[in-house]
Structure 1
């Protein structure tokens, strides 16, 4: 993307696509006040710049048979680069981990793990997480319910 900033029309495009990525170019253009051709060009530029990373279907976790979300705090024995890299490589391989954040504060990582039931989490914990070299402690918290979930970033004008 040749320009360095996202303008107001780009923000409108991003909001509309986050709400419904299946909009046609014509529908999208109508929402943001552009004809189809310049609309398609802007979307291509946003894709090329990596602002739009891809398109996905948002799946209902419970209806897909995966109702359990577990938030797991991980403390490593050491926070050297090689230990951090080894941990990141391991968690990237495990589909049960849907989110992983490197954190500041008391813990090094915060994970969100999605499983079908408690025995599935126990298996994941015993066969994967506890076997990782360099993990000093693991704390699990089970979500009782979801108050808010959004895949739409707040594209506020700056």
Structure 2
């Protein structure tokens, strides 16, 4: 466990990961504190950077973005200029919801959301395919989501 976090801090973080909108009174009850010390601890966790932000988890299907594609990307060169051009280009594309630089066979792994396969095909041709720093793209389409979590074990 990270230095400086006690069992109450970890309990607070576990609850907030699952229920970010929980009222402070209820959070305090769940972790065994009174409301004022609980609120102080949450503020300290925020200030120390353990809590980066609060967000809502949206239903991608209802919003017309329920089709997920993982794209493996190889760049033309591993230099800073090529990487910078690629990163600048993908940061402007909201359909790319995750981007990871990798060690190994390919340079980057992208998680892309679209309405359906045809929408993804258009997005790939009209947007990703025009990024000049890309040498090759391989698309992987998941057949079934087995596990999805953004919770960090604490």
| Shorter-chain TM-score above 0.5 | yes
Q: Quick check: 60-69 or 99-108, which moved more?
A: 60-69
Q: Do residues 20 (structure 1) and 19 (structure 2) align?
A: yes
Q: Is the 8 A contact 2:70 2:139 kept in 1?
A: yes
| Matched residue SS, 2:138 | strand
Q: Give the corresponding residue for 1:134.
A: 133
Q: Is the 8 A contact 2:102 2:109 kept in 1?
A: yes
| Matched residue SS, 2:43 | helix
Q: Give the corresponding residue for 2:120.
A: 121
User: Equivalences for 1:44-83 in 2 at 5 Å?
Assistant: 44-83=43-82
**In structure 1, what is the Cα distance between the partners aligned to 2:84 and 2:5?**
32
Q: Give the corresponding residue for 2:151.
A: 152
Give the number of equivalent residue pairs.
Answer: 153
Q: Which runs of 5+ in 2 are unaligned?
A: none
Q: Is the 8 A contact 2:83 2:133 kept in 1?
A: no
What is the TM-score normalised by the length of structure 1? 0.91
**In structure 2, what is the Cα distance between the partners aligned to 1:6 and 1:67?**
37
| Matched residue SS, 1:153 | coil
| Matched residue SS, 2:40 | helix
Q: Which runs of 5+ in 1 are unaligned?
A: none
| Matched residue SS, 2:137 | strand
User: Equivalences for 1:101-116 in 2 at 5 Å?
Assistant: 101-116=100-115
- Give the 4+ runs in structure 1 shifted more than 6 A: none
